[in-house]
Chains A and B, each alone.
Chain A
Amino acid sequence: MSIDLLIALITGAALFGVGIYGALSQTNLVMIMMGVELILAGAMVNLVAFWRYLHPDNPAGQMFVLIIMTVMAIEMAVGFGVAIARFRAKGSVEMEEAVELKE
């Protein structure tokens, strides 16, 4: 295992950890979603690193990353859509107040 791969994995793990922390510690929906983006970004770094250093001839790794990016974009669109609707209705996007949405 080369050093570059290790560095990439550590970066990925760091992004993931910051993302987890952000998603768990923030109460604002926008902030939570930013955390989730960071988690996904960490995961993508890992995937790209494994493809680049272990199996550079196989395009499946790249395709997987592209799919994840598409999913991220869609997720953002849906998440912000919900956030805007919530804001218009209640005037805030604090998730502690949105318990009633489960009903």
Chain B
Amino acid sequence: MNLIAIAILAPFSMMVLILLLRRAPAVLALFGATVSLVASSGLLSSVFGGTNSELLLPGLPDMPLRLVATPLTALLSTMVAAISSMVLLYAVGYMKQDKEKNRFFASMLLFISAMQTLVLAGDWVLLLSAWELIGLSSYLLIGFWYQRAGVKSAATRAFLYTRSADLGLYIAAFILIDNAGSSDIATTLSTGGNAAVVAGLLLLVAAMGKSAQTPLHDWLQGAMAGPTPVSALLHSATLVAAGAILLIRTAPMLPPETLLVIGIVGGITTVITGLIALGERDLKRMLAASTSSQYGLMLLAIGAGIPLAALLHLIAHAAIKSSLFLGAGVFQHSRESTALVDLQGAGRDRPRIFFGFALAAFALAGIPPLSAFFSKDAIIAATLASPDAMLLATFALTGTLLTGAYMARALHILWRGEKQTREIAGLQWMGAGLAVLVILASILGFTFTTIETLLNNHLDESTLAQILGLSAALSGLALGWFIPAKRLLGPLRPWAMQGFAITGGFDTWIVKPAFAIARSCEQVERGLYACVAGIVKPALAISRSCEQVERGLYAMVLAIGRLGLRLGQAARFSDERGIDGLIYSLVNSTIELGSRARMLQSGLIHREMAITVVATAFILVSALLALLVY
């Protein structure tokens, strides 16, 4: 049995089991995620040993479905499994009061197994299916509390955003498969020329949708409508990561022109969503904007031509962002709200949780020796080394500065305020999941050299980048802590609060084209209708005349039938009244005669005898007279 299959099927089979048994979902979910984690770790250790494994499944003719465990995919798979196990551990506590645990854990497991399939997929067909599956399961999870106001529309919105961007992935996959004649991702990476440029740009569109890059960044903040563990998983290791993972995996194929576009998109996103995060009034929405911003940094690194830096930041960010969200979930339970106004002083309620949250926040800001310091440093070094250093490095440093600023602002708000105390159910579970993730977020930086060795790729050390990055992060933290966001943003503030609806954002990029397509579809529909009506009307006329003929025939048949009936009736009449009548009248007259004759029989013997005697005498006398006459 292959470890790849176990990594994918363990969560999936547990999901099926939950749906069948409908009890103990938390235990089953934790078990599935743990088995998946063990299998992924096994894969990682085997690729450390230098053996890549592959699993071929029967698929389309000449296009078998491939699952591969290369250093990159095994690493990502382990990351996914580790983060999801911790998030599930946390969710056991977080969802303690919820009635629909079965649905929640089943959806989470579907999500995890789909993500495992996505990272381990070795060919485009499987990747596309997994891509669809994470879209579906994120829709289910964002819309988990579908009874609450606005949740359904948020889920639908996220789904539509990512779905419309997915078109890019479909077209890109078809171009690549068509070009290389194989659906194997590794084979298609050798594509060059115009096809690579077009496919690269289309892949960028898909990644922009999933990783919430400007101008498609809007949905991610709406996705906060789901439960906090969902947000934690969505933002760190799974849904949002899928876009960046896609670009990291296809990076060897991308030509310089496409890379520059990717870098610019990432740079713009990191600055704009950083500003949005700074102006946000809701903790979870702020973290969501920060996710977009960090993924912008990753795209910046890919654009600068060093996907390894993006990968390192992806891994560091996964641990950091999930711990931030888990911390935010505890504060949410403690104050029944995620608005920053309500959360003032929430950090004082739970100092230990706040300590973990702060540690993760500093890690994200890039304070050594916490994990993101190393990855951010690698990104800044990459942008400095790229041909468009001026542009990309400015973006990267601004992004780092903004990260520090909004994280410091969040910490400031959480710490300054009145302390409140409230019991939280299942806090020990949440604390356990959070603790592991915070530790990971803190120490992951030291594993980066190992990862570099594993991927057989080394980053150049750059003292300049370290100094620049650290100073940007520290000044950002200082700005965020000491200066209120209102003053910091200045004239940009109203704009940032609206989510930087650049060129209309959602409306221009999704809604208007969708409406245009709908309208043209309507036109086509009307044309079709007219065409069909044109065919149908003569047909109707023919059928009507047919109906007339039919009626005539019917009347004729009816007339013939009636005639036959009349004849039959006449025959019956003559039979009854003629022949039968004759016989009856004979019989009746006989009976009549009989009854008349019976009148003679009086029963009076004397009278009859007298008649007899008189009659006999009369006959005798007549006979005598006759004899005498002759």
Contacts and interface: CB of A to CB of B under 8 A. Distances in A.
Interface of A: 20, 23-24, 27, 32, 95-96, 98-102
Contacts of B602: 99, 102
12 contacts: A20-B613, A23-B609, A24-B606, A24-B613, A27-B606, A96-B606, A98-B603, A99-B603, A100-B603, A101-B603, A102-B601, A102-B602
B620 to A, nearest CB: 12
Given A20-B613, A24-B610, A24-B613, A95 B605 contact: yes
Nearest to B607: A24
Contacts of B610: 24
B605 A32 contact: yes
Given A96-B604, A96-B606, 12 more contacts: A20-B613, A23-B609, A24-B606, A24-B609, A24-B610, A27-B606, A95-B604, A98-B603, A99-B602, A99-B603, A99-B604, A102-B601
Nearest to A29: B605
4 smallest A-B Cβ distances: which pairs? A102-B603, A99-B603, A95-B605, A102-B601
A32 B606 CA distance: 9
Interface residues of B, number: 9
Interface of B: 601-606, 609-610, 613
Contacts of B609: 23-24
Contacts of B604: 95-96, 99
A24 B606 CA distance: 6
Contacts of A95: 604-606
Contacts of B601: 102
Give the interface centre of B601, B603, B604, B605 by most chain A CB atoms within 10 Å.
B605
A20 B602 CA distance: 20
A102 B609 CA distance: 15
Contacts of B606: 24, 27, 95-96
Contacts of A102: 601-603
A71 B603 CA distance: 24
Contacts of A32: 605
Nearest to A100: B603
Contacts of B603: 98-102
A23 to B, nearest CB: 6
Contacts of A96: 604, 606
A26 to B, nearest CB: 8
Contacts of A23: 609
A4 to B, nearest CB: 24
Contacts of B605: 32, 95
Contacts of B613: 20, 24
Nearest to A20: B613
Nearest to B613: A20
B383 to A, nearest CB: 140
A95 to B, nearest CB: 5
Nearest to B598: A102
A23 B605 CA distance: 9
A20 B606 CA distance: 11
A56 to B, nearest CB: 27
Nearest to B605: A95
Which residue among B602, B606, B610, B613 has the maximum number of chain A CB atoms within 10 Å of its CB?
A: B606
Contacts of A20: 613
A98 B602 CA distance: 11
A19 B613 CA distance: 12
Nearest to A98: B603
Contacts of A100: 603
B441 to A, nearest CB: 129
Nearest to A96: B604
Nearest to A32: B605
A90 B609 CA distance: 24
A101 B605 CA distance: 11
A31 B126 CA distance: 134
A27 B606 CA distance: 8
A15 to B, nearest CB: 15
Nearest to A102: B603
A96 B610 CA distance: 14
A42 to B, nearest CB: 13
A101 B602 CA distance: 10
A45 B321 CA distance: 160
A35 to B, nearest CB: 9
A65 to B, nearest CB: 22
A24 B602 CA distance: 16
Nearest to A35: B609
A32 B609 CA distance: 10
A80 to B, nearest CB: 16
Nearest to B610: A24
A100 B601 CA distance: 11
B472 to A, nearest CB: 142
Nearest to A25: B606
A43 B610 CA distance: 19
A103 B594 CA distance: 14
A64 to B, nearest CB: 20
B624 to A, nearest CB: 14
A23 B608 CA distance: 11
Nearest to B616: A20
* Residue in A23, A98, A100 with the greatest tally of chain B CB atoms within 10 Å: A23
A36 to B, nearest CB: 9
B608 to A, nearest CB: 10
A70 B44 CA distance: 144
A92 B553 CA distance: 85
A99 B601 CA distance: 10
A63 B606 CA distance: 32
A3 to B, nearest CB: 23
